[in-house]
Every structure is written in structure tokens, then in C-alpha cells.
């Protein structure tokens, strides 16, 4: 692997760790607020717990491990897409809005997540970093 390829993968790993850590910090901060225990509904706590579980899940650990090792599998990209989709779904499911508007937002977010995945695949291809097919 070239120096540029190694640097790109190291930066991607660092960015992923920062992203997940930042979201975990937000969730912890929101759950620790005094108003969270006084004013938040049981449903809001459940949503925050669901998001926390996604961020602490096996898929996050596997992506972090692959990126730390400089390995990009097709499943790595799929897991990143799934993590982001699950986070979006958990949030959007509990935002008060008309059902059709909610469905539009959900589909729009999933299209953007898929577009981000395709853009990453193009960057990897441009840098000639192989995406390993899973068996």
C-alpha cells in the first residue's frame, strides 16, 4: 500500500472514531441533563437508549476494527450504511410530523446515506484501494 493510501485509511479511521465518539457524547450529555429525568417522556428515553445501543453495537466495533487494520471490505461499507440508516430511522420514527412527510424524510436520508457510500467507493477506487469482497 502506498503512503497516500495508508494516510487516507488512517484518516478515515480517525474520522469514524471521532464521529461515533461525538454521537456517544451527545447521547450521554442529553441523558445526563436534569430536564431529561424531569421532562423527557419514557418514549424519549427509549429512543436515546436505542441510539446508544446502535453506537455501542457489534457493527460499529467491526467497522472500527477493519478501518484500524486498513482493511476495506464490502461488508465494512455496508455496515457503515446500516449504522447511519439505523440512527436516522431511530430518530425519524419519533419526530412528530405527518406520516407522508416522515416517509419522505426517511427516504431522502437513506438516499443521501447511499450516495455517501457510493462517493466513498469512488474515492477508494480513485486511490486504488481495493474493496475486498466478502465470502
- What is the average pLDDT value for the chain, to the nearest integer? 92
Torsional class of 89: left (φ above 0), alpha (ψ -120 to 50), beta (otherwise) = alpha
**Nearest CA-CA partner of 90 in 58, 57, 44:** 44
Q: How confident is the model at residue 120 (pLDDT cuts 50, 70, 90)?
A: very high
pLDDT at residue number 134: 83
Give residue-wise pLDDT tens across range 15-44. 999 999 999 999 998 888 766 666 667 777
pLDDT at residue number 45: 80
pLDDT at residue number 37: 63
Q: By the 8 A CB rule, do 13 and 68 touch?
A: yes
Mean pLDDT confidence for 91-108: 90
Long-range contacts of 72-80 (CB under 8 A, 24+ apart): 72/9, 72/124, 72/129, 72/130, 72/131, 72/132, 73/131, 73/132, 73/133, 73/134, 74/131, 74/132, 74/133, 74/134, 75/134, 77/117, 77/120, 77/121, 77/131, 80/16, 80/117, 80/120
Amino acid at each position: 500500500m502506498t503512503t497516500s493510501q495508508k494516510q487516507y485509511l488512517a484518516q478515515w479511521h480517525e474520522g469514524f472514531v471521532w464521529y461515533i465518539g461525538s454521537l456517544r457524547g451527545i447521547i450521554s450529555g442529553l441523558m445526563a441533563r436534569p430536564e431529561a429525568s424531569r421532562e423527557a417522556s419514557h418514549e424519549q428515553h427509549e429512543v436515546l437508549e436505542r441510539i446508544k445501543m446502535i453506537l455501542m453495537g457489534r457493527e460499529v466495533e467491526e467497522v472500527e476494527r477493519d478501518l484500524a487494520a486498513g482493511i476495506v471490505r464490502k461488508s465494512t461499507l455496508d455496515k457503515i450504511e446500516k449504522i447511519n440508516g439505523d440512527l436516522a430511522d431511530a430518530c425519524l420514527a419519533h419526530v412528530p410530523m405527518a406520516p407522508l412527510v416522515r416517509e419522505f424524510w426517511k427516504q431522502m436520508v437513506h438516499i443521501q446515506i447511499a450516495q455517501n457510500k457510493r462517493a466513498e467507493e469512488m474515492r477508494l477506487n480513485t486511490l486504488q484501494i481495493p474493496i475486498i469482497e466478502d465470502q
